[in-house]
């Protein structure tokens, strides 16, 4: 039955879940699902915001001296408070079609190793951007809910969430985190290593965006012959002129080997620290892999080889965290249990 009151509340209901990532920010609106996914980049000139998100990312590494493309998130936490607030405000206004009266309740997912100071920074930037109430939930918990893991059951759910700034490894049981480890090694550090490797090995300077493209296109942690190849353009460091070279996937494997080792070690540590009763569950259930890093070719196979555990890649690894936060928005009882102070 149509009720004008329900319609009005439906129209006014503006609650949001935000996955405030180092690389990308994803917004979920209650009742609508994911409505926005854009890079966490802001272009600024003389303190004034020029562009946010995709438009600003296009400018990375290409801006004239007076325009700065800033990434306000580093290693999963806010590095530039004012720019982060401007970015959040822009995204919130964008999904609410610039209705300035909207003061949504917002859930934001944060890394599990976050400090009190960092939590306060996230809360304050969301409030300054117009939030009525802010709830924080830990990323691995959000990712587990988003990946449809039975987090409220008395069984162990192990999750590895590899984002842009952090890799989160957690064991969850009875809606609580039994063990969590957050390492600040993830997609961004891999991009930086690829950039350095190409500089060192081929005397070619490339930008962050090219490094990321290489990782997405031919990044593989267990490449086999014939190796995939990719043509890349950059600036020759010897002659100073633009140059095109071809690189192979085995080169990228060695470029990112150090980061992969850190992630594998974090998983091993988590398995060692898990109580024996729960370890038995992990053998049965397997470990779920989420986040953009889950898309790195053969990472699931490598982790399975290294841990002897079944590794399952989530259906939509890039959206697991925000979908989990969105489900918590829809279920206030769960939210009360898992929100952190």
Do the annotations mark residue 234 as ligand-binding?
no
Greatest CA separation for the chain: 73
Q: Is 67 one of the annotated binding-site residues?
A: no
- How many angstroms separate the CA atoms of 91 and 105, rounded? 14
Burial class (CB within 10 angstroms; exposed 0-12, middle 13-18, buried 19+) of 285: middle
- Could you give the CA distance from residue 229 to residue 247 in angstroms, rounded to a whole number? 5
DSSP 69: E
* 271 annotated to bind ligand: no
Let me know how many helices (H) and strands (E) the chain has, helices first. 12, 18
24 is in an annotated binding site: yes
**52 beta partners:** 42
Q: What CA–CA distance (Å, rounded) separates 269 from 205?
A: 37
293 is in an annotated binding site: yes
The rounded distance, in Å, linking the Cα atoms of 188 and 182 is 15
Ligand-binding site membership of 168 (annotated): no
The answer to whether 56 is annotated as binding is no
Question: Is residue 215 marked as binding?
Answer: yes
Measured at the alpha carbon of residue 190, what is the angle toward residues 89 and 177, in degrees to the nearest 5?
A: 65
Helix (H) or strand (E) holding 312: strand 311-313
Q: Does the annotation place 143 within a ligand binding site?
A: no
Task: Determine if residue 292 is labeled as part of a ligand binding site.
Answer: yes
Say whether 294 counts as a known binding-site residue: yes
Residue 165 marked as a ligand binder: yes
Sheet-wide strand order for 48-52: 48-52, 42-45, 67-70
Residues annotated within a binding site for ATP:
22-24, 164-166, 212-215, 292-295
Residues making up the annotated binding site are: 22-24, 164-166, 212-215, 292-295
């Amino acid at each position: 039955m149509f009720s004008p009151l329900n319609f009005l509340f439906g129209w006014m209901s503006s609650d949001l879940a935000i996955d405030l990532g180092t690389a990308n920010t994803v917004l979920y609106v209650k009742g609508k699902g994911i409505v926005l996914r854009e890079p966490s980049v802001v272009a600024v000139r003389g303190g004034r915001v020029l562009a946010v998100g995709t438009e600003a990312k296009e400018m990375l590494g290409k801006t004239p001296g007076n325009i700065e493309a800033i990434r306000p998130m580093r290693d999963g936490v806010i590095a530039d408070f004012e720019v982060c607030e401007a970015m959040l405000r822009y995204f919130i206004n964008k999904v609410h079609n610039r209705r300035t009266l909207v003061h949504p309740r917002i859930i934001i997912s944060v890394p599990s190793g976050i400090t009190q100071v960092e939590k306060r920074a996230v809360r304050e930037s969301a409030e300054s951007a117009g939030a009525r109430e802010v709830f924080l939930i830990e990323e691995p918990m959000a990712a587990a809910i988003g990946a449809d893991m039975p987090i409220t059951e008395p069984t162990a759910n192990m999750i590895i969430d590899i984002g842009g700034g952090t890799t989160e490894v957690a064991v969850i049981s009875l809606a609580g985190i039994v063990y969590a480890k957050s390492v600040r090694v993830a997609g961004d550090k891999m991009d930086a290593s690829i950039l350095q490797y190409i500089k060192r090995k081929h005397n070619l300077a490339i930008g962050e965006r090219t490094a990321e493209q290489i990782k997405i296109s031919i990044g593989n942690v267990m490449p086999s012959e014939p190796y995939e190849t990719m043509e890349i353009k950059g600036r020759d460091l010897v002659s100073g002129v633009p140059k095109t070279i071809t690189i192979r996937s085995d080169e990228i494997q060695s470029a990112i080997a150090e980061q992969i080792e850190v992630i594998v070690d974090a998983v091993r540590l988590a398995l060692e620290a898990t109580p024996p009763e729960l370890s038995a569950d992990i053998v049965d259930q397997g470990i779920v892999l989420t986040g953009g890093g889950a898309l790195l070719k053969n990472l699931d196979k490598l982790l399975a080889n290294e841990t002897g555990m079944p590794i399952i890649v989530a259906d939509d690894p890039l959206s697991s965290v925000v979908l989990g936060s969105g489900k918590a928005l829809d279920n206030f009882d769960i939210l009360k249990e898992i929100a952190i102070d």
